[in-house]
Amino acid sequence: MRIVLDTNVLVRAAANEQGLAGKLLQEIVSGPHVLVSSPYILSEVARVLNYARLQARWHWARQRSESSSAAWAMSRRLCLTTTPDRIVLADPDDDPVVQTAALGGVDVLCTRDAHLLDRAVVEYCAGQGIQVMNDIDLYHILTGRPKG
């Protein structure tokens, strides 16, 4: 399965490798699945991981966020995006994420972002053969473990 993890999932994975998002990332990169990303998503992740308030909250240093970004960079397929079409009307900054999924030929766009879970975006993605789902649902699909 080809998968795009949105910034919010990747940041949560970096914050807690033993949490659900961290386990999901490990499941993807260690299995037969392909993590698809783009320079846009990677730069957004790096930017968020360097927020002082997040570093203080999670008690980590800048080098940890840089090493997390480097690890993802080595474990995924990179999709170069162009100027994206307007898909996510409520937040145009999310359009490159949708474009990454579409150009990357992914099966799943995994996110917790309400703008990307909006019905219009989900319908657009479905027309591209992409399922949009949260990390909980994707983790259960990939592992075959029941929710609960």
pLDDT tens for the chain, 148 residues: list them: 999 999 999 988 888 889 999 999 999 988 899 999 999 998 898 888 876 666 666 555 444 544 454 455 445 666 666 666 788 988 989 999 999 999 999 999 999 999 999 999 999 999 999 999 999 999 999 998 776 6
- By the 8 A CB rule, do 12 and 139 touch? no
Please identify which residue in the block is written with the tokens 């999670």. Answer: 58
> Does the residue 112 lie in any domain?
yes
pTM of the model: 0.84
Q: How many domains does the chain have?
A: 1
Domain-embedded: residue 98: yes
- For residue 137, give the CATH number of its domain: 3.40.50.1010
Cα–Cα nearest to 33, from 24, 42, 41: 24
State the amino acid at position 66 in one-letter form. E
